[in-house]
Amino acid sequence: MVAASLSPVHGDDIKSLALPIVDLSCHRGLVSELIVKACEEFGFFKVINHGVPAAVISQMETIALDFFSLPAAEKQRAGPPNPLGYGNKAIGQSGDSGEVEYLLLHANPSISQRGSTISRMNPTKFSCVVNEYVESMQELAGEILELLGEGLGLADSGVLSRLIRDSESDSLLRLNHYPPCYNNKEDISSDSSNDKDTVRSGRIGFGEHSDPQIITLLRSNGVGGLQILSPSSSDGAAWVPVPPDPTTFYIMVGDLLQAMTNGRLVSVRHRAMVNSYSSRLSMVYFGAPPLHEWISPLPEMITPQMPRCYRSFTWAEYKRAMYSLRLGHNRLDHFRQDTMEEYPWLVK
């Protein structure tokens, strides 16, 4: 149904739920089984004992904070986002906004990062730290995708990890800074954006969405704000706050992984809230394939019980659709097999 792809509006229900934690130092067979289960149930899990050196993380955090503490005019030199670069409040090109400032960078060291506009003082240091962090993220994401391949019983267990390890991969690094923001009713009464969400659960830093790529690795400082939409159950979908833990990474299934697994793994809808007392920093790696890579449901994921549900498309085609849609849209619905059969004019 085409109507199903219009923005879903989820209410304010907040639920506390035990979220899956995967210890990467455990037995490989057990780890791959747990990862598959978490991605089927939540499209989300937290990893501990991930092997990323603490120094790599803290250096990245320091240069991110150094950048966000620059005067506004200095930060604007790295903007506006095209879509890469510095952005403040406006997210994407379709009218979305949130209480966030960010730096969106390509995660491929060979792509120029406007280094001198981001760090006038020391662009070389900036690039080195980003490259080291991105290399660690690519390694961790590759390992998790390899484990997923094994857990799903794929004949070629490296088929997922190779996509993001490719030298032409279109992966991104996003640094989000959420300054503290008022959230009580009195403060908001004169603000035209005071909706139900704002009053009851704080202000929206980054609105509800799923990540379009294959896999997301998110690390935040010790300030909470990330929420995931729990899978629908008898008591309905609800927002689940993710407790902050700066020593770990949160892993999210992206739209492409949902398509490649023919809907068996689900891309998790999530959002970030801001609070009135502390600023929050998140560093988010989005693992993506090369632009011209074809994405199709893997043969092992198509069964008589689970017939093929997505058509084939390239990542470049998916990106075009994504930039034409609002943040909260369910983009993958436009690539369903039945959309092509019932509404061929929608599929260019």
Ligand X SMILES: C=C1C[C@]23C[C@@]1(O)CC[C@H]2[C@@]12CC[C@H](O)[C@@](C)(C(=O)O1)[C@H]2[C@@H]3C(=O)O
Tell me the catalytic residues: 280
Count of Cβ atoms closer than 10 Å to residue 36 Cβ: 20
- Count of residues near Fe ion by CB under 5 A: 1
Could you tell me which stretch among 20-28, 218-226, 314-322, 329-337 binds ligand AKG (CB under 6 A)?
218-226
Compute CA distances 284 → 151, 310, 341, whole Å: 25, 27, 36
Q: Does 229 bind ligand AKG (CB under 6 A)?
A: no
User: Which entry of ligand AKG, ligand X, Fe ion, none binds 92, CB below 5 to 8 A by partner kind?
Assistant: ligand X
Nearer to ligand X, 172 or 226 (CB): 172
Q: Binding of ligand AKG at residue 206 (CB under 6 A)?
A: yes
Q: Binding pattern to Fe ion, positions 64-83, x when CB under 5 A?
A: --------------------
Q: Least separation, in Å, of the C-beta of 209 and ligand AKG?
A: 7
The length of the chain in residues reads 348
Site membership for ligand X, residue 178 (CB under 6 A): no
Q: Which segment (15-23, 137-145, 220-228, 336-344) binds ligand AKG by CB under 6 A?
A: 220-228
Q: Of 60-119, which residues contact ligand X (CB under 6 A)? A: 83, 91-92, 94, 96, 104
In the list Fe ion, ligand X, ligand AKG, none, the entry touching 173 (Cβ below 5 to 8 angstroms by class) is none
Stretch that binds ligand X, among 8-16, 204-212, 257-265, 310-318 (CB under 6 A): 204-212
Burial class of residue 106, CB neighbours in 10 A (0-12, 13-18, 19+): middle
- The DSSP H or E segment spanning 324 is helix 315-324
**Cα-atom radius of gyration of the chain, to the nearest Å?**
20
CB of 295 to ligand X, least distance (A): 15
| Residue from 103, 147, 226, 298 binding ligand AKG (CB under 6 A) | 226
Pairwise CA distance, residues 211 & 284, whole Å:
11
Residue (149 or 205) nearer to Fe ion, CB: 205
User: Considering beta carbons, is residue 81 or 263 the nearer one to ligand X?
Assistant: 81
Collapsing DSSP to helix, strand or coil, 229 comes out as strand
Binds 327, which of Fe ion, ligand X, ligand AKG, none (CB < 5 to 8 A, cut-off by type)?
ligand X
Residue 197: how many CB atoms within 10 A of its CB? 20
Exactly one of 223, 257, 272, 327 binds ligand AKG (CB under 6 A); that residue is: 272
170 touching Fe ion, by CB under 5 A? no
Q: Which helix (H) or strand (E) holds 175?
A: strand 172-178
Which of 211, 219, 251, 256 binds Fe ion (CB under 5 A)? It is: 211
Question: Using CB under 6 A, which of 211, 261, 318, 329 touches ligand AKG?
Answer: 211
Whole-number Å distance between alpha carbons of 252 and 255:
10
341 contact partners, CB below 8 Å, separation of at least 6: none
Residues near 24 by beta carbon (within 8 Å), at least 6 away in sequence: 31, 47, 48, 49, 50, 51, 143
Q: Who's near 82: CB < 8 A, 6+ residues apart?
A: none
Q: What letter represents residue 5's amino acid? A: S
250-270: b (≥16 Cβ within 10 Å) or e:
bbbbbbbbbbbbbbbbbbbbb
> Does position 284 bind ligand AKG by CB under 6 A?
yes
- Contact positions vs ligand X (CB under 6 A): 83, 91-92, 94, 96, 104, 172, 174, 209, 211-212, 286, 322-323, 325, 327
- Contact positions vs ligand AKG (CB under 6 A): 174, 176, 206, 211, 218, 220, 225-226, 270, 272, 282, 284
